Amino acid sequence: MKKQPFITKEQAQKIAAEYPTPFHIYDEKGIRANCEAVKKAFAWNRNFKEYFAVKATPNPFLMRIMQDYGFGFDCSSAAELALCEAIGARGDDIMFSSNETPAQEYAYADRLGGIINLDDITHIDFLEKTIGKIPETISCRFNPGGVYEIANGIMDNPGDSKYGMTKAQLFQAYGMLKDRGAKNFGLHAFLVSNTTSNDYYPALARTLFTLVVELYKETGCRISFVNLSGGVGVPYRPEDVPNDIAVIGEGVRIAYEEILVPAGLSDIAIYTEMGRFMMAPYGGLLTTAIHEKHIYKEYIGVDACAANLMRPAMYGSYHHITVLGKEDAPCDHIYDVVGSLCENNDKFAIDRALPEIEKGDLLFIHDTGAHGFSMGYNYNGRLRSAEILLKEDGEAKLIRRAETMKDYFATFDCFPQVAMLSDGTADRRLAGE
């Protein structure tokens, strides 16, 4: 399917005149339509809830859009919990699915009344010691080990991942939690990332529902929610077939009817913690071509770099690029599109067929709405970009300003001579001037 940016060249030029590139831009209309589709796909389950994975796009303005649909938030750190606190999310609107968790973060999650999802059996003692009790509602993360196969082949290898508990530990953990006062139990598993098959959630649901029935029959412990976590993918490449959330929801419903209902467990809530599927396609990184270079290959240098979008450098991920205004021009040039980092993996595209790019052209890098801005960093002294929301009425709203040199120097406040003057230049006193 041809990938279309959600903004035109004219719109982008107008926004870039006010907020210089690079910046991430998000499409409110697309986000809302997708939230509706997710709600509808699982409407058959009375207590369904999506807990948006905050790490994908930790911006309170975007999180507030999710709140309009009754969604909660999946957090794994104090800062993510604080974002929830800031927008008024409390109690069972918060899922705390962390691992290697510091004590004070468990305490914070508990203070907000969030649901704690334990990554390991040893965390039962750790949590009890930290907060002085076991919460009434608690969840455990399962790792089935081995290789996880679904209909379209082997997709990942849970046996090599650090997350979750073995089945034996899981059964033991529920017993321990019950003995120490827990009343409502959840089961969570996250096995595969960016799946491109409608079968992943239904297959995972079958695994987890079967486990729920076994647990009930063997121990009498009743699970009250099954959390399918994240992992539903998006079509990064034009040739990728998009997941259909309606088909996915229906697949989970069939598994529910076949496994849970006959076992007398028909009141179990389904939770999800999607990040990528909720946001990736509804964000783009807008960047300007500022240089071209002809050596052994043809390079286009842009004003964004891997500090703004790490996925290509980190995973070799494909992100589609559209040269705005040249949507229908022939892709008869082969370029490496590169950022400025002193790292040779700072390449948004390698040997990519694109229309001829001229300096000043605006490039729209697709699908940066999840795990884009949020993975940003300051290597090479690069500053994090702005985030802009393209509202439904077409207005561009700044939802996070770009970092300035002052932000970069802020953590030297232990060393005032290096502090920045208000005009953004360095205090030269250190240099004896």
Ligand X SMILES: *Cc1c(COP(=O)(O)O)cnc(C)c1O
Binding residues (CB under 6 A) for ligand X: these are 53, 55-56, 74, 97, 190, 193, 229-232, 273-277, 370
Q: Give the nearest distance from C-beta 365 to ligand X in angstroms.
A: 18
Torsion region of 302: left, alpha or beta (phi above 0 gives left; psi -120 to 50 gives alpha): beta
Q: Give the nearest distance from C-beta 279 to ligand X in angstroms.
A: 8
Of the pair 74, 156, the CB lying nearest ligand X is at 74
Q: Please name which of 321, 313, 330, 319 lies closest in space to residue 288, comparing C-alpha atoms.
A: 321
Q: Give the nearest distance from C-beta 57 to ligand X in angstroms.
A: 9
- Residue 339 has, within 13 A of its CA and on its CB side, a CA count of 25
Residue type, 169: Q
Query: What SS3 state is found at 199?
Result: coil
Could you tell me if 231 and 190 are in contact, meaning their C-beta atoms sit under 8 angstroms apart?
yes
Residue 169 DSSP symbol? H
Of the pair 276, 326, the CB lying nearest ligand X is at 276
Q: Please name which of 389, 358, 362 lies closest in space to residue 373, comparing C-alpha atoms.
A: 389
Residue type, 145: G
Of the pair 277, 373, the CB lying nearest ligand X is at 277
Of the pair 55, 311, the CB lying nearest ligand X is at 55
Rg (CA), the chain: 24
Query: What SS3 state is found at 103?
Result: helix
Of the pair 142, 335, the CB lying nearest ligand X is at 142
Q: Can you tell me the distance from the alpha carbon of 25 to that of 46, in angstroms, rounded to the nearest whole number?
A: 34
Using Cβ positions, the residue closest to ligand X within the complex turns out to be 230
Could you tell me if 331 and 349 are in contact, meaning their C-beta atoms sit under 8 angstroms apart?
no
Q: Give the nearest distance from C-beta 210 to ligand X in angstroms.
A: 21
Of the pair 95, 362, the CB lying nearest ligand X is at 95
Q: Give the nearest distance from C-beta 232 to ligand X in angstroms.
A: 6
Cα dihedral sign, 260-266-269-270: positive
Could you tell me if 118 and 96 are in contact, meaning their C-beta atoms sit under 8 angstroms apart?
no
User: Which are the contacts of 323, defined by CB distance < 8 A and separation ≥ 6?
Assistant: 329, 354, 355, 357, 361, 362, 363, 364
N-term to C-term CA, the chain: 60
Q: Give the nearest distance from C-beta 165 to ligand X in angstroms.
A: 14
Q: Give the nearest distance from C-beta 370 to ligand X in angstroms.
A: 6
Of the pair 16, 204, the CB lying nearest ligand X is at 204
Q: Give the nearest distance from C-beta 231 to ligand X in angstroms.
A: 5
Q: Give the nearest distance from C-beta 253 to ligand X in angstroms.
A: 20
Of the pair 253, 276, the CB lying nearest ligand X is at 276
The DSSP bridge pattern shows strands 386-390 and 396-400 to be: antiparallel
Of the pair 252, 265, the CB lying nearest ligand X is at 252
Query: What distance lies between CA 214 and its chain's CA centroid?
Result: 32
